[in-house]
Structure 1
Amino acid sequence: MMDRMPGLGDSKVAATTRIARWLDQKRGRPVQWQLSPYLAVLDQIDVRAAELQLSDVADSVITERARRLADAAVGGASSESLLVETYALGREASVRTIGLRHFDVQMVAAIALRHQRFIEMQTGEGKTLVAVLPAVLAALSGQAVHVLTFNDYLAQRDAEWMRPVYELLGLSVGHVVQGMTRRQRRRAYGASVTYATARETGYDYLRHCLLRDRQEVILRPPHWAIVDEADSILIDEARVPLVIAGSEGATIDERRSEFAELTRQLAKPAHYDTGDDGRNVSLTDEGREVVQARLGCGDLAQLDNLELLTGIHQALHAEALLCRDVDYILRDGQVSIVDELTGRVVPDRHWPDGLHRAVEAKEGLRLGDQGRILSSITMQHLINRYPNLCGMTGTIIPSEDELWHFYGRPTVVIPPNQSCNRIDLPDLVFTHQSAKRAAIVSEVLQCRETSRPVLIGTSSVAESQRLAREIRDAGIQCAVLNAKNDEAEAKIVAQAGAPGAVTVSTNMAGRGTDIRLGGEDGRWRDPVVACGGLYVIGTSRFESRRVDDQLRGRAGRQGDPGSTRFFVSLEDDLMVRFDVGRWIPRRHRRRHQVEPIDDPVIGEKIATTQRIIEGQHFDIRKTLWSYSSFVDEQRRVWHDRREAVLLGQAPSLLAAGGSAKYERVCATLGESLLAEVEAQITLVHMDRCWADQLARIADVREGITLVRIGGQEPLYEFYRQVAEHYAELEARVGDAVRETFEAASITEAGIDLDREGLAGPSATWTYLVNDDPFSWLGSIADLSNIGYGVTTGLYFGGFFLARSLYRRLFGKGGK
């Protein structure tokens, strides 16, 4: 293995790997360090390439051999029997078309992916090239293969970059990005291999679930998914619901501006409390009295004041917990949410349940149309639609248990092609933030003396701007990269490794970013290497160690030198929210000092806190999965039935009903036209019933946290209520279809849906909900961490139960 894996060549790395492997085996972790089975397959690939003399044959021979393999795959040959020759051809095609030959470690990674594993490869190790080989093998059968990337830029870049490889092997490649037309998307999804973000693929699936004409279908049945940055998509974004909504006309609440102004005048802690972790908000008794007096509404908890209470708490949440340039930015007159893990603006992401509109009112913006949710799916359930799944990332190990739990696939650790030369320096911990920032500026000044490039990763837009201002005040020019200027990302990153470059960035620069030493063209590589390579500074620790590791991974790519260090303050968000200060020795708690705290216990406690937080999040996600998977099973069954109706494969409801009109129309206009009319009517009512079911689930969701207070089991009660509602749907659809058919006018042209009141929404749009619709259930797993909706419910007792009843009585379920 040592000969084929240079990254394991030095004794220190080899010893560390042996120890880690031994510990993982003892703990039963789903991590595979033993690569011998994959190396054996690699030997077979090398032998086959030599037998076929691939390096000497013409391009046409490569293409012809690939065509024969495709014929064999379509004829039923197993992918395992085709792997060796396919990978040999793919490696040779890569050399001929783009000048890159897979290293042995990349071949091992590609073999592991084909066996549906998650792989961890360090940054800069060529994951894009690795993904081509399993994609080619999967595409030989003619079924859909999706390479799911981190963003639109990478989807387009990787597809175009790898296109010559696919085409030499007789395959086509397409990519899907935001803004494409239906025709462009159909062409892209019809290609042998399609590159797209999981988000765009999910939106297209939701649109597919609302189609009423089979001629408009653009998606093929899912077959293979190869997920890049797997930990981000499969864990961080796993519970994020993708939503498609339909317009129901204006829903602007004229009092939201009044609520925003009122909550702006409330003071903490007299009028409201934000909880121990700073993530929850609730009115105090005094605050409730102030609000009631200002509104002149009487007791807010009364049924007549339900809408007022909801609006006030949404406004209070927006005012007290959501900060501009931290949680969101203002762009083009709209609120754009900043992802806390990536630092990027996420297109079309909304906060749920009217909270987004409360933020718009807080900022004095025009309120958007909330609409009615027509369909929804979480990223986790979207990915699980693929019968074959694998993924790759640079930071998977801290979360391998979670990937195993939810996706049933182990993790394989791939050693680097060259030994990592990055030096990860110990944290410097300061008593207060101003001392931390001063130390960072001083560190940058020292690096300027040797022209060493520096990348500084911050936790928010506001922090990046403030730190950049202080660096410039010290006489140092720096580039700033954050959600406000993300369009300049490629240009800024290209120069981040140039001599003397100082780049201040949110954690946008922590994933999917490759910084080349010496600048964009590498012209000044040697002097940068001589001064130690890229120096990465983190201004705070994140809740997840994976996010920290992603930032570290910008330095030391492919054996380059580099170093990293985190500068931490006891006033940082992580330290305050999770009360890390309680572990700090007393002598450091009450006085400010300029020098860093010299006590190793602090670093140990920070690392312990991160592990505890990750464990809590995992436990909550397991609880949430118990709820969301039940709903997703209903969604799957319902949409499978809908698909059969769309494709004309469902039995006729009308034919079995003995309708005289059915017999008459069938005899007059023909069975084919009547089947089409019935399908159109059925699809309309199925969509309406499913939208009603989603609204009902929302109602159940809002009241379920009160079930535990009443001594019942929340999960059982949730299952019971949701199942009862679902059981009603089939009968409702059948009755509605027959009633519509009997009343409708049917001619040789079919049925006029608009005239019969069956038209779809005047407009639809897609968006991401910024929080999981089941996030309130975190309180079931941990009642000490109660979120926005739950806090309100517990504080006001039966508020959510009453609100649920109110919606059912007055038909507001769709809102």
Structure 2
Amino acid sequence: HFFAIVDEVDSILIDEARTPLIISGPSSGEANRWFVEFAKIAKTLEAGEDYEVDEKKRTIGVLEPGIEKVEDYLGIDNLYESANTPLISFLNNSIKALALFKRDTDYVVMNDEVMIVDEHTGRILVGRRYNEGIHQAIEAKEGVPVKAENQTLATVTLQNYFRLYDKLAGMTGTAETEAAEFMSTYKLGVVPIPTNKPMIRKDQPDLVYKNEPAKFAQVVEDIARRHETGQPVLVGTVSVEKSEYLSRLLAKKGIKHEVLNAKNHAREAEIVARAGRLGAVTVATNMAGRGTDIMLGGNAEFLAVQELKAKGLDPVETPDEYEAAWDAVYTAQRDTVAEEATKVVEAGGLYVLGTERHESRRIDNQLRGRSGRQGDPGESRFYLSLTDDLMRLFQSGAAEAILARTNFPDDVAIESTMVSRAIKSAQSQVEARNAEIRKNVLKYDDVLNRQREAIYADRRHMLEGDDLSGRVEHFIEDAISAVIDDHTGSGHTESWDFDALWTELKTLYPVSVTIDEVVAESGNKGRVTPEILKREILSDAKIAYAAREEKLGTPAMRELERRVVLQVLDRRWRDHLYEMDYLKDGIGLRAMAQRDPLIEYQREGYQMFQAMMGQIKEESVGFLYNLDVEVRQQGEGQVESEVQAKGLQAPAVEAQKLQYTAPGEGGDVEVRNDRGQVQQAATSKLRQAASGAAPAPATEAPRGAFGQRTDGAAASTPAPQNRADRRAAGKKK
């Protein structure tokens, strides 16, 4: 990461900074049926009576009457019993989906899918899903197929991602108001650059009305007046729902217009190309804000392409005819556009009409900035109401006071410095709140970021093929020392359970030294110390590892080390991300005990990271000693090791799209692709080959936690995979 130049830098580094980047994969299992069940329950509950909603903080709280209704519906005595704990999450998510997430505002439903709409750009975020069960709750609410929750494989905030670059720069038209945050978070200064041509756009003062219907009635009247004079109008709305509402009002008035929102994003280029034409009316969400270039008179190049398309000419299907006709058609369109642009300039240029203030002043300024580009004339104005979301959520007291004092008719605009101050104050409140959230997100992600850097550095060395033999030697020392410390940590030598110690060591590696030999080496049992135990057992473990390497061959052993450690590290890191997320969700409650949640998160996060590293070492050692490995010769001098192990996935030999063979739930071999999906044809072929080679299918040998065979003297029950699991199993006993 050397240098990055970011376009619309305030959108990416400020607005989007609250959203973490998550690489996720399909989790095992299907979507839980409780999502659909609780979607039905949520619809029977009454807001204010059964649950309360805080739209400002985007939280909900279930009240006692609501809890009683849910318990009656489910036929249980106590929803908050430990056995019913998972149901609380389903209940909270179903109420959030109903009360906080609005269709055609936060998301749209298309082709039986719930698709998220970006609050800043108004565009559909293809492939993105809400996490923590919210997306499934919305799917259940809307009656579309509920998909299983994805598992987080990797996560990073945009703030920490871009801070990886040695040098960072960007461009935007709206950065000065956020100069302090750019400096504090990214160490970036803001330099204003003068415009190429003087800006002559007229920014008119806001018009504020008592309520929303009155505001939209006046908006329609203003659009009609401008439309009659031929002035093109771009109307900005805050959501898909509001854009469709205004579209219906314009249709009633008989005003021809285009609607640009997340539902018809496929026509975006065409709508924008015509938005600057004489008399054009375009109703849009934030999609027509940042980065959109509306040319007065229209876009000649796009209009020429459309004309040729209408004539049946295509640059791919009929390239020669297309090329021959292009010059004449483009010249004609260019002349038409130039003539029309002159008339549009005479009419006053593009008129931008905002129907509501956004949470951020920068988004308002971006909408205004669609007009008066490159020295063109233009005009902008915002129509507001005292019941708009911004005022309702952040200045409800001021709005009510103004409404109580004034007796203006609905169709008369309220002109008051108090109103203007209230609007500015509301936007400042939202911006301050969002800045605080970003600051908080960064503080918590910095804790995970240090862990991420350590893990990814290790992972990079493994992927680049570094020799891991030295590291594995340390793994063996640490894993065996930890097991010995666990069994000899307290009490006198006489009280140590040597049999339990040896049983646990045998799950890690094939122990050949006996208890009696260690005692004999010490003189008597009373003289045995943890240091003597470690010395003797580590010596035995190293001999066993050398014997295994001699059996497999050095190249095969190095490949086995790389694959095993990499897969164990990846699996444990995924689990760690989930646990850290869970820790962060509840860490705020520590403040009630007069503790700093951030300090607690740092402390416990470090402890969890250390525990994870211990698990990685122990599991890696167990697998390296016990996995069944087949070494195949591929021509002279070439050796390839293939890991064929129970509990460890490995790539198949064939050089196709990534596939691997793995045991299915019943113990049969299955061939899977890189997404983990079973490849039926390849699986059948493999099973047929296996059945043809032997008269009867062999019974799967029982295996231990690390793939070791347990048929024989070993215990029939596989051992837990690490000490944390073993302790948990011990407590259950």
Tell me if both proteins adopt one fold, taking TM over 0.5 as the criterion.
yes
**Shift in Å, 1:619:** 2.2
Contact kept? 1:478, 1:503, Cα under 8 Å: yes
**Shift in Å, 1:754:** 5.5
**Shift in Å, 1:581:** 4.7
Matches within 5 A, 1:453-602: 453-521=232-300, 522-523=337-338, 524-582=340-398, 584-585=401-402, 587-588=404-405, 593-602=410-419
- Other-structure match for 2:561: 678
- Other-structure match for 2:472: 654
Structure 1, unaligned runs of 5 or more: 1-221, 766-804, 811-815
Question: In the alignment, is residue 423 of structure 1 matched against residue 202 of structure 2?
Answer: yes
Choose 489-498 or 366-375, whichever is displaced more. Answer: 366-375
Matches within 5 A, 1:359-370: 359-370=138-149
Contact kept? 1:278, 1:321, Cα under 8 Å: no
**Shift in Å, 1:525:** 0.9
- Aligned to 2:619, which of 736, 743, 758? 736
- Other-structure match for 1:126: none
Distance 1:284 1:763 in 2: 46
Can you list the C-alpha shifts for 1:716-736, whole angstroms capped at 9, x where unaligned? 111111000111232222221
Distance 1:756 1:265 in 2: 48
Which residue type is aligned with residue 349 of structure 2?
G
Rate the CA distance shift 1:224–1:650 in 2: closer, same or farther, 3 A: farther
Which residue type is aligned with residue 614 of structure 1?
E
Contact kept? 2:211, 2:387, Cα under 8 Å: yes
| Count of aligned pairs between the two proteins | 549
Which residue type is aligned with residue 33 of structure 2?
E
Q: Secondary structure at the match of 1:274?
A: strand
Question: In the alignment, is residue 758 of structure 1 matched against residue 648 of structure 2?
Answer: yes
Contact kept? 1:246, 1:373, Cα under 8 Å: yes
Which residue type is aligned with residue 231 of structure 2?
R
Distance 1:432 1:253 in 2: 43
Can you list the C-alpha shifts for 1:275-309, whole angstroms capped at 9, x where unaligned? 26372211222222222222222222221211111
Can you list the C-alpha shifts for 1:309-328, whole angstroms capped at 9, x where unaligned? 11111100001111111110
Contact kept? 2:371, 2:379, Cα under 8 Å: yes
Contact kept? 1:251, 1:371, Cα under 8 Å: no
**Shift in Å, 1:586:** 5.0
Normalization by structure 1: what TM-score?
0.65
Contact kept? 2:25, 2:151, Cα under 8 Å: yes
**Shift in Å, 1:692:** 1.6
Question: In the alignment, is residue 280 of structure 1 matched against residue 59 of structure 2?
Answer: yes
- Other-structure match for 2:607: 724
Same amino acid, percent of matched pairs: 36
- Other-structure match for 2:14: 235
Question: In the alignment, is residue 622 of structure 1 matched against residue 505 of structure 2?
Answer: no
- Other-structure match for 1:770: none
Distance 2:383 2:51 in 1: 33
- Other-structure match for 1:58: none
Distance 1:753 1:246 in 2: 23
Contact kept? 1:537, 1:564, Cα under 8 Å: yes
**Shift in Å, 1:764:** 5.0
Distance 2:81 2:673 in 1: 36
- Aligned to 1:325, which of 104, 120, 131? 104
Distance 2:146 2:556 in 1: 44
**Shift in Å, 1:591:** 7.0
Matches within 5 A, 1:53-68: none
Distance 1:366 1:335 in 2: 9
Rate the CA distance shift 1:485–1:566 in 2: closer, same or farther, 3 A: same
Can you list the C-alpha shifts for 1:759-792, whole angstroms capped at 9, x where unaligned? 2796659xxxxxxxxxxxxxxxxxxxxxxxxxxx
Which residue type is aligned with residue 123 of structure 2?
R
Matches within 5 A, 1:74-223: 222-223=1-2
Choose 265-274 or 329-338, whichever is displaced more. Answer: 265-274
Contact kept? 1:496, 1:503, Cα under 8 Å: yes
Contact kept? 1:641, 1:650, Cα under 8 Å: no
Contact kept? 1:654, 1:662, Cα under 8 Å: no
Rate the CA distance shift 1:350–1:591 in 2: closer, same or farther, 3 A: farther
Which residue type is aligned with residue 681 of structure 1?
V
Rate the CA distance shift 1:809–1:455 in 2: closer, same or farther, 3 A: farther
Contact kept? 1:457, 1:537, Cα under 8 Å: yes
Distance 1:377 1:304 in 2: 34
Distance 2:406 2:646 in 1: 72
Which residue type is aligned with residue 758 of structure 1?
L
**Shift in Å, 1:552:** 0.5
Which residue type is aligned with residue 613 of structure 2?
E
- Other-structure match for 1:297: 76
Distance 2:728 2:102 in 1: 36
Q: Secondary structure at the match of 1:301?
A: coil
Rate the CA distance shift 1:307–1:729 in 2: closer, same or farther, 3 A: closer
Which residue type is aligned with residue 561 of structure 1?
P
- Other-structure match for 2:161: 382
Can you list the C-alpha shifts for 1:546-583, whole angstroms capped at 9, x where unaligned? 11011011000011100111100111111111134525
Contact kept? 1:244, 1:764, Cα under 8 Å: no
Distance 1:637 1:607 in 2: 45
Which of the pair has more CA radius of gyration?
A: 2
Can you list the C-alpha shifts for 1:172-216, whole angstroms capped at 9, x where unaligned? xxxxxxxxxxxxxxxxxxxxxxxxxxxxxxxxxxxxxxxxxxxxx
**Shift in Å, 1:739:** 0.8
Rate the CA distance shift 1:461–1:586 in 2: closer, same or farther, 3 A: closer
Distance 1:442 1:697 in 2: 55
Which residue type is aligned with residue 366 of structure 2?
Q
Can you list the C-alpha shifts for 1:112-131, whole angstroms capped at 9, x where unaligned? xxxxxxxxxxxxxxxxxxxx
- Other-structure match for 1:140: none
Normalization by structure 2: what TM-score?
0.72
Contact kept? 1:581, 1:589, Cα under 8 Å: no
- Other-structure match for 1:712: 595
Matches within 5 A, 1:631-650: 631-649=448-466
Q: Secondary structure at the match of 2:441?
A: helix
Structure 2, unaligned runs of 5 or more: 301-336, 477-540, 633-639, 651-671, 677-723
Q: Secondary structure at the match of 2:17?
A: coil
Question: In the alignment, is residue 353 of structure 1 matched against residue 132 of structure 2?
Answer: yes
Which residue type is aligned with residue 517 of structure 1?
L
- Other-structure match for 1:613: 430
**Shift in Å, 1:385:** 1.4
Contact kept? 1:431, 1:588, Cα under 8 Å: no
Contact kept? 2:467, 2:558, Cα under 8 Å: no
Choose 316-325 or 702-711, whichever is displaced more. Answer: 702-711
Distance 2:47 2:728 in 1: 36
Which residue type is aligned with residue 242 of structure 1?
L
Q: Secondary structure at the match of 2:153?
A: strand
- Other-structure match for 1:314: 93
Distance 1:360 1:407 in 2: 38
Which residue type is aligned with residue 563 of structure 1?
E
Q: Secondary structure at the match of 2:414?
A: coil
Distance 2:644 2:231 in 1: 67
Q: Higher relative contact order by CA 8 Å / sep ≥ 6: 1 or 2?
A: 1
Which residue type is aligned with residue 263 of structure 2?
K
- Other-structure match for 2:685: none
Distance 1:468 1:809 in 2: 62
- Aligned to 1:437, which of 212, 216, 239? 216
Which residue type is aligned with residue 451 of structure 2?
Q
Rate the CA distance shift 1:666–1:250 in 2: closer, same or farther, 3 A: closer
Can you list the C-alpha shifts for 1:207-245, whole angstroms capped at 9, x where unaligned? xxxxxxxxxxxxxxx211100010111011113122223
Which residue type is aligned with residue 364 of structure 1?
G
**Shift in Å, 1:596:** 0.9
**Shift in Å, 1:648:** 2.3
Can you list the C-alpha shifts for 1:529-548, whole angstroms capped at 9, x where unaligned? 11110000111001100110
Can you list the C-alpha shifts for 1:67-109, whole angstroms capped at 9, x where unaligned? xxxxxxxxxxxxxxxxxxxxxxxxxxxxxxxxxxxxxxxxxxx
**Shift in Å, 1:751:** 4.8
Question: In the alignment, is residue 696 of structure 1 matched against residue 579 of structure 2?
Answer: yes
